[in-house]
Structure 1
C-alpha cells in the first residue's frame, strides 16, 4: 500500500519554533525538510540582520521560489515540510500556487514567550523585539479551516504528534 505524500507549511512568527518543529515533523512523516529562510536573497538577509523588517516587495521573489519548490515536490508526489513565516493570507495563497492542497501547521504564541525564545537564540539573522513587533503587526492568523493551529507552549513533540495524527488518520468509508 502506497503511503500518501504531503506538502506541509509550518508557519508562525520568528521564535515560534518553525525550523525545530519542522525538522521533527519531517522526520516523523518521512518528508524532506526545507527552511524557507535559506532561500532569502542576500539583500533580504542583510536587511533583516540590520533590524529592518521586510516588506511585501522584499518577500515577493522569495515566496515565488518557495512556491516553485512546493510545486516540484507535488509533481514528484514527494513529501515536503517547509518552514516559512507565512504571515499574511496572500503569502499563504502564493505558496498554495505550488500545491493547492498545501497543509498548514500554525505555531501560535504570546509575544512574551516569543521574545524569551528570541533572546536565547544565537546565530540567527533575525534581530530584536522591533522586528517581532513588525511580524506580529503583519500577522493574519489562519483560522481552523485554513490551518491546524497549536500553541507553542506545548512541547515540540506534543505539537508534532498532534499534527501528525491529523495526517495519518485513515479515512473511514461509510458501512
Structure 2
C-alpha cells in the first residue's frame, strides 16, 4: 500500500472512502466530523441515524468503524471511527491504532482501493501531534489489506503537514 501525506481538506479528496474522525453519537459534531457532515449533506446523517436506531443504539464504540454513503462528497463512502481522548495517565494508543486498523478492514470489505484518513484524535481529543502521526504510520505501514492500494493521511495546515513529514522521516 502506498502511503501519502497530503496537506489539505479531507472533504475535497477524490478517493473511494473518506475516514471520519467521528464522535460516538455518529450525528455530527465539530472539526473533521462537522466538515464531513456539512459538505456531504443530509444523506450521511440519515444513514448515521439509521445505524444508531439499529446496530449502535448506545453509539459507536471507540476504535470501531462503520461505513455510510459519502453523500455529496467526492468519494463513494465515509468510514466513521471514534478515536480515543488523549490521557497522560492511561495508555490509549491501542485504541487509536484500532481506529486505523478497523477503518482499513471496513474499506477492504467495501472494495475501496483509495482511502483518505484524517489525523484521528489529534484535534479536540488532544492527542499529541507527533505521536498521533507515529500511531497512524505504524498501522498503515504494517497493514496488508487486499483492496486498499493507497492510503492518504490528510493533514490540515502547513505546520501539521511539516510535523508529519518530520515524523515520517524519523520513523522509516
The structure richer in strand per residue is: 2
TM-score, normalized by the shorter chain, greater than 0.5: no
Q: Report the TM-score when normalising by structure 2.
A: 0.38
Q: Report the TM-score when normalising by structure 1.
A: 0.38
The structure richer in helix per residue is: 1
Structure ranking higher on relative contact order (CA contacts 8 Å, 6+ apart): 1
